[in-house]
Chains A and B, each alone.
Chain A
Amino acid sequence: MAGGNAGGEVLVSIRNLTFSRGSRKIFDGVNLDIPRGKITAIMGPSGTGKTTLLKLIGGQLRPDSGTITVDGRIVHELSLGRLYELRKKIGMLFQTGALLTDLNVFENVAFPLREHTKLPESMIRTLVLMKLQAVGLRGARDLMPAQLSGGMARRVALARAITLDPMMIMYDEPFTGQDPISMGVLVKLIRDLNRELGLTSIVVSHDVEETASIADYIYLISEGKVVGQGTPDAIRHSESPWVLQFMEGLADGPVPFHYPAPDYAADLLNPPA
């Protein structure tokens, strides 16, 4: 059993997870533990189903077999009502931000409050401005999502994800496609929020440097299996050639440079009839 050994209480625990899309197996016997109050990173090449894993944890997809336990409850056995109760305690930051395009920044951040609470308008205003201040975008409250840069949109989405004061936030590729400055801002935000709000964070990413700089514990996933795990330092000094190739970004290694093909010379010399 590959249990997380980062210490402390476990918030999310995944056991023997298998999941397939059509005939393609995305997860095949994955075991993961996400400790409470820490930042856990899940890394791996594109297309290994990291986003799918977050959707499984959030209960948007159901596993073929295995169990996913969040805060002591088995996610895929909850009724829809209970699942929604659980989701109110989980924030998720989508790759694109997933802001509602017909609402401005303020209303986007206020959205969960308006949907789930009956707070008076003045209270909503205060809460929203506090969350926007935390991500440094209090001044952008009247902009529409289309007017925001990618990094700003993600920060607004982050403010929205924390409006209901969740116990956990899942970040889906937070650093992809960001310039160095936005990247730095996001790294700082994720780290600060986790510390100050006592959150548990799951970061899914393939940006090695940034992720390694904030994560307490890293899982490496490839081809449906956990291929490596440990603290960032332990991972960096791993013996495994696959882990080394991924962390160092080498072009060739256990993941071959060439897509499987017949012999090169034979292929050139024998054109199809």
Chain B
Amino acid sequence: MLAPFQQLGHATLGTMQKLGRANLFICHVLTGLPEILRRIRLLLAQVYSVGVLTILLVSVSGLFVGMVLGLQGYNVLSDFGAEQTLGVMVAASLVRELGPVVTALLFAGRAGSALTAEIGLMKATEQLSGMEMMAVDPLKRIIAPRFFAGCLSMPLLASLFSMIGVMGGYFVGVGLLGVDEGAFWSQMRSRIDFYDDIVNGLIKSAVFGVIVTWIAVFEGYDAVPTSEGVSRATTRSVVYSAFAVLGWDFVLTALMFGGD
């Protein structure tokens, strides 16, 4: 009779505890910033494995997303004789939404899952514990560089995605479908606002970077230290990241573009 309520209560308490742990965790990690700045090499190595190794995936995806936008946009806009605004459509969708969101999802799949698995395995093989016993704080030495590297890489990757996407749209629209080149760029430039569109998109991607990396490193650190626990944590990391990114995207969009 009361069993469902007990289950609900159990799940609620468990979630609250996990959120609490995640917040304490991130506070501790943030205190590692001064040390990271002193030993910038630790950060660079992680920017390499988190950011540089994701470039190819992000570039190729950006190119195809941009090309598809060009193709689909042309089909719809040409019905209204508005092919000239193809550039606006492609650029606005990329800069405002697809750039930050798709990059964050790709980033969660490529870099986030790798971070979770790596940290989870380090925990399972007692590397983190061993570090503690060597009087080295694993949150500062291992987690903090990875966290800051993720936060730094995401906006750069999202910008790259948007730029290559615009190129892809240009290639299909102007190169293949014969939209006027001057109109493509000038309409785009007159309708895309630097502060409203580009800066807001950048803010979005920075927020997503923090969220995805936070989830990834926390899930790894909080994983049950067995091979099964690590694989579950990796799955959770990607799933939670996707939910969090899409949910926050709605909130941020409502705040940024909802007003008028």
Interface residues of A (CB under 8 A from B): 55, 58, 60, 84-85, 87-88, 90-92, 94-96, 98-101, 111-112, 115-116, 157, 160, 164
Contacts and interface: CB of A to CB of B under 8 A. Distances in A.
B193 interface: no
Question: Mostly helix, strand, loop or mixed at chain B's interface?
Answer: helix
A95 B137 CA distance: 20
Interface string B116-154: 000001100111011111111100010000000000000
Contact of B129 (A98, A100, A164): A98
Contacts of B130: 92, 94, 98, 157
Question: Mostly helix, strand, loop or mixed at chain A's interface?
Answer: mixed
B124 to A, nearest CB: 9
Contact of A115 (B121, B133, B141): B141
A242 to B, nearest CB: 30
10 contacts: A87-B133, A90-B133, A92-B130, A96-B125, A98-B127, A98-B129, A101-B121, A116-B135, A157-B130, A160-B134
A101 B131 CA distance: 12
Chain A to chain B: the 7 pairs with minimum beta-carbon distance, closest first = A98-B130, A87-B135, A98-B126, A84-B135, A92-B133, A94-B126, A88-B135
A112 B127 contact: no
Q: B126, B130, B134, B141: which has the most chain A beta carbons within 10 Å?
A: B134
Contact of B134 (A55, A87, A101): A87
Q: B131, B135, B137: which has the most chain A beta carbons within 10 Å?
A: B135
Contact of B132 (A87, A101, A112, A116): A87
B126 A85 contact: no
Contacts of A91: 133
B133 A101 contact: no
A115 B39 CA distance: 11
Contacts of B135: 84-85, 87-88, 112, 115-116
A100 B123 CA distance: 11
Interface of B: 121-122, 125-127, 129-137, 141
A149 to B, nearest CB: 16
A1 B121 CA distance: 42
Contacts of B125: 96, 98, 101
A47 to B, nearest CB: 16
Contacts of A160: 134
A95 B132 CA distance: 15
Nearest to A87: B135
Q: A84, A85, A95: which has the most chain B beta carbons within 10 Å?
A: A84
Contacts of A157: 130
A99 B127 contact: yes
Contacts of B121: 101
A85 B129 CA distance: 16
A164 B136 CA distance: 13
Nearest to A85: B135
A95 B127 contact: no
Contacts of B131: 100
Q: B121, B133, B141: which has the most chain A beta carbons within 10 Å?
A: B133
Nearest to B126: A98
Contacts of B133: 58, 60, 87, 90-92
A101 B141 contact: no
A115 B134 CA distance: 9
